[in-house]
Amino acid sequence: MSDKKEKTPIGQRTVMGFDFGTKSIGIAVGQEITGTANSVGAVKARDGIPNWDEIGNHISDWKPDLLVVGLPLNMDGTNQQVTFQAKKFANRLHNNFKLQVETQDERLTTTDAKARLFEQGGYRNLGKSNVDGMSAVIILESFFESLWD
């Protein structure tokens, strides 16, 4: 037996997803084995910079094997200013927590998140934190789907 900690095999990992925004960052956690995710809410950010201790608390609580950051692209697939900020956030996650970080195309996730939340509870369900958290769920679920394509 090796003394090194074995990596969790692909398909069995716990994954934490982030919907990056300059004012709020949605967070979800999911399991590859089921392909499902749940929102754990959102953390406030100032110009895209979150309270790193708050992010660290979520990582400590859930102990993910992998982090996934939504990449906000233009509809034609090109970068926009916030794309670069999301990539910077992904790099900081990796540097701060020493976990593997992937990015996932997140075009239309906010629209999908609002539709899902409205179905679940109408307008009262459409608060910013709920939308950001649900966007993170959709980012993670689309990441899981891309693993099996």
Q: Give per-residue pLDDT as tens, 74-123.
A: 888 888 898 999 999 999 999 999 999 999 988 767 777 777 766 776 66
Q: What are phi and psi of 139, to 5 degrees?
A: -60, -45
At which residue do the structure tokens 């970068």 appear? 79
Contact 24/134 with Cβ under 8 angstroms?
Answer: no
Domains of the chain: 14-147 (3.30.420.140)
The model's pTM: 0.85
Task: Summarize the confidence of residues 41-69 as an average pLDDT.
Answer: 96
Amino acid at 134: M
What is the percent of the chain with per-residue pLDDT over 90, rounded to a whole number? 58
Residue 5 reports pLDDT greater than 60: no
